Structure 1
Amino acid sequence: MERRHFLRSIAVAAAAPAVLLAACGETAEKTAGAQQTFTCPMHPQVIQNSPGACPICAMDLVPFDKNSTSASLQLMDNQVQLANITTATAGAGMLTQTRSLNARLMPDPQRTGIISARIAGRIDKLHIRETGVRIQKGQALYAIYSENLATLQSEYLLAAAQTRRFPEDARFRQIAEGAKTKLERYGQNTTDIAQLEKEGMPRPLVTYHAEQGGLVTELSVTEGQYVSEGGTLLQVEDYSRLWVEADIYPSEAALLKEGQTLQVTVPGWENEPLRMQAEFVYPAIQTGKQTLQLRGSIANPDARWQPGMAATVLLPVASRSESLQVPIDAVIRDGASAHIWIEKPKNTFTPRKVRTGLENNRSVEITEGLAEGEKVVVTGAYLLYSEFVLKRGKQPV
């Protein structure tokens, strides 16, 4: 009996190391299975079993669960609100693909006026003394002292007096009409001539008024200066309409039709697109460039924009009438592929690879991978992409 107990004790003692090693092996396997894995948020191909820094961008590695096989992300309501995740229903409609043309705003030469001296004399009073001043039509610009004008006024007063004295004499009437016409040609209007007749004596100092409104861009005279007839005094530009000059390649000019309506955007006012008609394409290539020049005009209410500002003209190059489309921010591109996020059911977001077609600055056509009526994430898609990489350690699709 004692021998039997002794042999049993020896067997237990001999088997104990094997059992212990097996237990240790199981523990090691469990420890290895539960070992944390780390990856880089920007480079998910970097994976290691300990914390550290990314060898590519030096960003701190973050833990992730490499064993998860779920292709979706489930968020709570507060997470959706914090991430500003919004969705839109995919639908079909007209989609026009455009090409952006670099353009500039320029003053309209047809609205640029030169104010010149109507008669030789001395500028006795200059009401506009600097450039950049905005003037209105009919505003007083300058007063000129002219002996020639005084002589013409005397001739008219004499002819008018003879006409009143001899009303039946046609010759005196012709002389008076001729003298009046001379005054009108030198800028004297009906009111000025009536005032002259009322006073009955010449007025060599005469004030001239603006015949158009606009911005004074050039001032070529000073007070007290003698000027000759026809001499340039001021230059006035009206900015109520501006020219739009865009650079267009000869191959693109074939896509354009005269009178075609195009869209124009000005930096800072992208949400207020304008419309212009293609009025003219210069037939010769610009000096030093390989482009033609497209010209149109836009309204400029309250002189909101100034000449010299940059602009963009959108030239339509293709269009489809029944195109399944989503907002352009909904599509995430990664190299040669693209994907979107679908919400189904609520607060459950699944990435889906798609193929894109036509696109413009607002929408993109989906030719494969999406059905009409599905809910597509519009804002917050990049946050979902980052969250997926952090939790799964791989690209969504």
Structure 2
Amino acid sequence: MSRSAWRAGTLAAVAAGGAGYWAGQDGVPVPALFEKARTELLHWAPHPAEKPTSPPAGATGPVVYYRDPDGKPTYASEPARTADGRAYRAVHAGEDVRFETNEPEIETPMQASSATAVAKRIRFYRNPMGLPDRSLTPKKDAMGMDYLPVYEGEDSDGGTVEISPGKLQRTGVRTEVAERRVLSMPVRAPGAIEEDERRVSVIAMRTDAFIEKVEGITTGDHVHKGQPLLRLFSPEMNAAAAQYLTGIGYEGARRRLENLGIPPEVIDEIERARKVPATITWSAPSDGVVVERNVSDGMRAKSGDTLFRLVDHSRVWAVADVSERDLAAVAEGQTATVRSRTFPARPFTGTVARIYPHLTIGTRTARLRIELLNPNGDLRPGMFADVEIATGAEKPVVAVPDDAVIDTGTRQVVLLDKGEGRFEPRSVRLGTRGDGYVEVRDGIAAGDRVVTSANFLIDAESNLKAALQGLSEPKPTQGIQAAAEGKAP
């Protein structure tokens, strides 16, 4: 087998055995090893029986660069000569350097595969350290490292970043699959327990009266509906009762008794006994606790005076102050959990019944009330409470961890794990948040794997790569750029 055939077979073995994997203790990519092997083999001094071929007959491709006629790693962008006066060999666009020999060539399947790999046209050479420097000809950096070739079809996705397994392990990259889940974003606010305004009863006089006797009821006592509270005498009430008895069935007379505030059971007793009572017994209109008592035996009560004030505490309100920022997430009918400072381990569950229409100017908060059942009276008006309102989506949505989102200020980005160390930045449109996750309404789908740790490092590398591609395109120099693009200089 000829030396040129041996070289082609060796190139094919390197290309076929190393594609897509990493080799060497230093984590050097196989494309770099392949290029190094290819360079060394192509630079191998030809056998005396072999000689460099001239450009193919009828070749019209432009000259890309010039190389040493002996295969030494010396290149030039313009025609040049060696120290002994020999001209550099012109390398045309798309042309691979081959050597001819008098020995017959036998192409093997391995060589055919190599021919396909070698036939790929090199677009340019990039700096091995990722610096913003490209070259249309092979070269070395300041440390003597070979520039890496970028072939046609490679590096077409400007946003995809490739990271070696060793670097992935060192930076601690972690990923998680985007899944459909129900997000709950609780809104927390301070509040206080207040009495239900609809469960307050006031016993007041609508005419002048004299208090005959007050029952032994004091402030704080619990009373039941129909329980006697006091007895009183009122001349106007007696006159109305007498008129009602003289004209039984007269609707106007009964209406007058009702307008004076006489309890219905007292009016029914007057009609049944057909007798005007000397005193009228006043009873509790509903169950409740006596929170105010302004009456004593023998006193005179004037029209409009409040004698008793009763409050039913079986149902109370928790009034919370929600910040203006969180107000958009709160709606009437949502479930709320209330914990009083007195019973921090006992949650009371209710619903948001009303959001008040005005904000408090000084605190920029909106008041809302939650209705709570309080059968044992454990919640007392005036208690401080911590309110937590469950907001968020009721149906499962595509969600990723909060740490997976990179917020640039103008857009939100997640890094999609495409496997084999490849990552792609993907712009997303976000929705509600809760439980450490955020809804993704557009950009990715359920089942996609996203980066949740060290994503800022990968994003920085992606942005650097995009910047270098946009800012460091090789500049045309004496027709080389046009030649690389297959155009006449």
Larger-gyration structure (1/2): 2
Structure-2-length-normalised TM-score: 0.41
- Greater relative CO (CA pairs within 8 A, separation 6+): 1
Which of the two has greater helix per residue? 1
